[in-house]
Amino acid sequence: MTAFAQVTCGFLVLDKPAGPSSHACVAQVRRTYGLKRVGHGGTLDPAVTGVLPIALGPATRLLPYLPGEKAYRALVQLGVRTNTDDLQGEVLHQQPWPRHLLRQELELALAPFRGAIEQRPPAFSAVHVQGKRAYTLARSGQALELPLRPVTLHRLELLAWDPEQGTLEMEIHCSAGTYIRSLARDLGETLGCGGALASLRRTAALGFQLSQCVPFEALNDRPPPLLDPLVVLSHLPQHLLSREDLPRWQCGQPQSTDQDWPSGEAVVVIAPNGNLAGLAKMEATGRLQPKLVFPVDS
């Protein structure tokens, strides 16, 4: 954890259980730490478990600078279609799944979903439609067919296939904005029997892993220690301010650097005392333009 003028600032990674919403998890963190300024990175549906990154204090401003990729372990049920594309929704159609499917045939069916693809989000999703969330319109009875969106599945591995139960388990590493429910639905359509997401566990998000998670129940005890933003931002280049540069930085003035970072690159700016001073953007002129400026002790 980093202290900015005695202000709590850091990250907590929750192992979200099935049941509470992401919003409810944030509310519990607020109560545990006695803070109002708390936000999460990457909403999980109530039934989904796993990695839920939470930022506290000024660290909430750092969420857009974290890696967007996510990883999941998913169980897909074949032979069923629902209005939400998972088993929590209303069943629209059921039919037998092809029990004779071989693993090689499943691999062929999965192949078109690997790499850069276009995907249609579920009707019951948080996508904005005419200023409203899609799930709000879907719940009111409106028939929705959302437009396709580009996503990338960097890794899609078939872990297990149970022909008796009609379930297949997959491991997925994907870009931000990917819907695993849509993948389950579309795979079922490819196989001609329908499909829906049976269960989902997020194993990585925004650079955080399951190994860094704190159990949700731990929030009932003393506040767990937070991850230092400097550790969390270690994937970005760093610029160390001199004592002479610090006052100008704190006034929002651009900084000179002899580093040849790409234009537009986000750069972590560190104060002379080793604390996080903020974030800058590398300009084409070779100067660092302040984007976030945090108060630090001189």
What is the set of active-site residues?
A: 45
**Joined tokens for residue 176:** 């931000």
Among 241, 215, 259, CA closest to 298: 241
- Contact status, residue 158 vs residue 168, Cβ threshold 8 Å: yes
Burial class (CB in 10 A: 0-12, 13-18, 19+), 283: middle
Neighbours of 103 (CB within 10 A): 12
| Integer Cα distance of 266 and 264 in angstroms | 6
The dihedrals phi and psi of 217, each to the nearest 5 degrees, come to -65, -25
| Integer Cα distance of 77 and 80 in angstroms | 7
Alpha carbon 147 to chain centroid, angstroms: 21
- Contact status, residue 234 vs residue 17, Cβ threshold 8 Å: no
For 73-110, give the DSSP string.
Answer: EEEEEESEEESSSBTTS-EEEE----TT--HHHHHHHH
Q: How many CA atoms lie within 13 A of 57 on its CB side?
A: 20
- Contact status, residue 51 vs residue 227, Cβ threshold 8 Å: no
- Contact status, residue 199 vs residue 3, Cβ threshold 8 Å: no
Q: How many CA atoms lie within 13 A of 249 on its CB side?
A: 32
Q: Name the amino acid, one letter, at 267.
A: V
